Structure 1
Amino acid sequence: MPDAAAERIRQEAALWAVTLADDAVDDATRAACDAWCALDERHARLLAEMRRMWESVTPDTPAPQPARRGLSRQALGALALLPCLLVAGAAMPWQAWLADERSGVGEIRHLTLEDGSRIALNSDSAIDIDFSGSVRRVQLVRGEVFVEVAHGDKPFAVVDRDGSARALGTRYAVRRDADDTVVTVTESRVRVQPLDGGDDRWVDVQAGQQVRFNRSGVTTDTVPAAPGGVAWPQGRLVFDDAPVAEVLRQLGQHRPGLLLADDEALDTLRFTGVLPIQQSDAALALLASALPSLRVSTLSPWLVRVTTAPP
């Protein structure tokens, strides 16, 4: 099983474990979980392991209560523990939990730093801030950040596990993906330098461009940024002839619970338009309205499945 698929199943099993820990969970949610387990024998096996781990890490903790916008702090803490406990030797995500600034799932946070720079944190993101040295550093621990850099006496850089993106202007976004980092520049220039690339290995990214890199070097050539690629700080997602599976992937990052897509059935569908981030039910309704063959099934507040109508 590919690592990405394994990680997704672990996360889904962890969420089900937290959901089922609530004494008030309804029959429809239990039925949805049973349906998820029936899809693949690995689902039921991992869910059983997750539930055992939940009981071991929260023996005296009341069951978490589902909230409209996400889980309680207790539930989120235990949920973050579960996938890590499953993988032997996996690093515990203490850095993300203890980060200087964080955002929840579905939350867009806007901050003004001490130097006047403005920052937006995308859904489920975390950063550390350190202006004490010779560089104003924002450490991207998780997720995505958009910065509007104020003028100052010291350089400004967003850094993560793969390297640094130093501002040569003012406005850009940095997103940490599973295997690499994406930098999208909306104004002026940004100098991208992989961690292991040495001082002479860097690339300048111009306004309207995007690049991917990992700690060893640039992984893709610099390309034009997608239209509306950094629209999320304004609370919207912009798509231009995008595969519906990708549209749903992005919506799912801003929605508590699971948004499951039948990728094979959706393979031929594409979408052009603008969707609201923080009203994901409305976004799904708009998507279904634009694509009449789309079927959105709300199985519970925590589980939505999207597929197509039978021919």
Structure 2
Amino acid sequence: MNNEETIEERLEREAADWFAAMHSGETTPELRQRFEAWLHGDRTHKIAYREFEQVYRDLDHVAVEAGVDVDGALVRQKAGWVELVAGWLRRPAFALVAAALMAIPVAAYLTTREAPGDLIHAAAPDYVTKTAEIRDITLEDGTRVTLGARSKIATAFTPKERRVTLLEGEAFFEVTKDPDRPFYVAAQDTLVRVVGTKFDVKRSAEIVHVSVLEGIVEVMKPDNIEKAIETADSSAFDKQILTAGERVSAARRVALPEARQVETAKPGVWREGRLAYEDASLAEIVADVNRYYDRRVRIATSDVGDLRSTIAFNSSEIDQFFDVIETIQPVSIDRAASGDIIIKRKR
């Protein structure tokens, strides 16, 4: 009998062990760096990890009925997950429930996806930042990404294309030129296509903001993002061509507006620790503030969120923002007992 571990078994074991380690609640910057080195060291690592993530999601559906404490086991057991899962599957109750619920992940995806062209639910983050953390990343093609505070991106590279999905927050891209492999950034139902340039993409609750520092960027709203990337044909889509100094704000499920010139807020200036806005809504500004501030900031009513300002302040000095906004807008700052900061219309 051959007890040697096959390559496939080794990949399954490593993916399971890394998943347990990264979800144990005991991660450190050093551990995260080692994990990312493993994940991006070989394409088979990423495939194995994604497959185990799907296994874990499936287990989550069947665990209660089968009497298995998946989350508890994740905390207690840092390694040997392949053997642990195999043991669960030998339980009759677990096997029956798992078989009955096999279609749940697909059904959940089909019923909860946000828009026809939105692929966000299909991606899991490769890189993540915490509150007030700004991080520089070099992708496998040499493209440099600066990931803003409390942001997440997923990456997918093939011989024909390069793709990044902005799942949350903001990212600045310095794309390595490769005419044979266009570079795509997907966020909500908006798709950005470039060959080599410098640009910024920011995702808020309902709007994706794209601004260009250098080069040319194509922003489009395809009915199906996956198909748009596969065909590499943007001629049939609603789109805007942006050049240096231009910006477009794409609201979800709404046609693209005309691009506009950015006069004062240089794209990507937040990388230097400065948050700058030109005729921006208070809702957009506060969404950014919440990614850099350790207390939650809320807007009391939608009409306050619609107030527009041209303003700049340091991300490390958020308290100055409250003083300034109270001066230039008809609002007051309420510091609640819960610790939240609430921006209300001044009476």
TM-score past 0.5 threshold: yes
Q: How far apart are 1:205 and its partner, in Å?
A: 1.5
Go from structure 1 to structure 2 and tell me whether the alpha carbon gap of 1:115 and 1:282 turns closer, same or farther (over 3 Å shift): same
Partner of 1:67: none
Larger radius of gyration: 2
Q: Deviation per CA, 1:18-62: give whole Å up to 9, x if none.
A: xxxxxxxxxxxxxxxxxxxxxxxxxxxxxxxxxxxxxxx9998xx
How far apart in 1 are the matches of 2:279 and 2:200?
A: 22
RMSD, matched Cα: 4.0
Q: Which has the higher helix share?
A: 2
Are 1:279 and 2:342 counterparts? no
Go from structure 1 to structure 2 and tell me whether the alpha carbon gap of 1:162 and 1:295 turns closer, same or farther (over 3 Å shift): closer
Q: How far apart are 1:307 and its partner, in Å?
A: 4.1
Go from structure 1 to structure 2 and tell me whether the alpha carbon gap of 1:263 and 1:227 turns closer, same or farther (over 3 Å shift): farther
How far apart in 2 are the matches of 1:174 and 1:268?
A: 21
Q: How far apart are 1:281 and its partner, in Å?
A: 3.0
Name whichever of 215-224 and 230-239 sits farther off: 215-224
Go from structure 1 to structure 2 and tell me whether the alpha carbon gap of 1:171 and 1:293 turns closer, same or farther (over 3 Å shift): same
Partner of 1:149: 175
How far apart in 1 are the matches of 2:282 and 2:256?
A: 25
Are 1:236 and 2:274 counterparts? yes
Letter in 2 for 1:303: D
Go from structure 1 to structure 2 and tell me whether the alpha carbon gap of 1:156 and 1:283 turns closer, same or farther (over 3 Å shift): same
Of 189, 210, 230, which residue of structure 1 is paired with 2:247? 210
Partner of 1:227: 264
Go from structure 1 to structure 2 and tell me whether the alpha carbon gap of 1:166 and 1:240 turns closer, same or farther (over 3 Å shift): closer
TM-score if structure 2 supplies the norm length?
Answer: 0.52
Q: How far apart are 1:100 and its partner, in Å?
A: 0.3
Go from structure 1 to structure 2 and tell me whether the alpha carbon gap of 1:240 and 1:214 turns closer, same or farther (over 3 Å shift): closer
SS in structure 1 at match of 2:319: helix
Q: How far apart are 1:187 and its partner, in Å?
A: 1.2
How far apart in 2 are the matches of 1:217 and 1:241?
A: 20
Go from structure 1 to structure 2 and tell me whether the alpha carbon gap of 1:134 and 1:163 turns closer, same or farther (over 3 Å shift): farther
How far apart in 1 are the matches of 2:177 and 2:340?
A: 45
Letter in 1 for 2:193: R
Q: Deviation per CA, 1:81-133: give whole Å up to 9, x if none.
A: xxxxxxxx65799767x410012233322212233221122233211112233
**Is the contact between residue 275 and residue 286 of structure 1 (CA under 8 Å) also seen in structure 2?**
no
Partner of 2:201: 174
SS in structure 2 at match of 1:193: strand
Q: How far apart are 1:291 and its partner, in Å?
A: 4.9
How far apart in 2 are the matches of 1:254 and 1:186?
A: 23
Q: How far apart are 1:243 and its partner, in Å?
A: 5.8
Name whichever of 124-133 and 299-308 sits farther off: 299-308
Partner of 2:216: 189
SS in structure 1 at match of 2:292: coil
Structure having greater relative contact order (Cα 8 Å, sep ≥ 6) = 1
Q: How far apart are 1:294 and its partner, in Å?
A: 5.9
How many matched pairs?
A: 225
Gap runs ≥5 in structure 1:
1-56, 61-88
TM-score if structure 1 supplies the norm length?
Answer: 0.57
Go from structure 1 to structure 2 and tell me whether the alpha carbon gap of 1:257 and 1:204 turns closer, same or farther (over 3 Å shift): same
Gap runs ≥5 in structure 2:
1-68, 73-110, 115-119
Go from structure 1 to structure 2 and tell me whether the alpha carbon gap of 1:91 and 1:220 turns closer, same or farther (over 3 Å shift): closer
**Is the contact between residue 156 and residue 166 of structure 1 (CA under 8 Å) also seen in structure 2?**
yes
Partner of 1:251: 289
Go from structure 1 to structure 2 and tell me whether the alpha carbon gap of 1:244 and 1:156 turns closer, same or farther (over 3 Å shift): closer
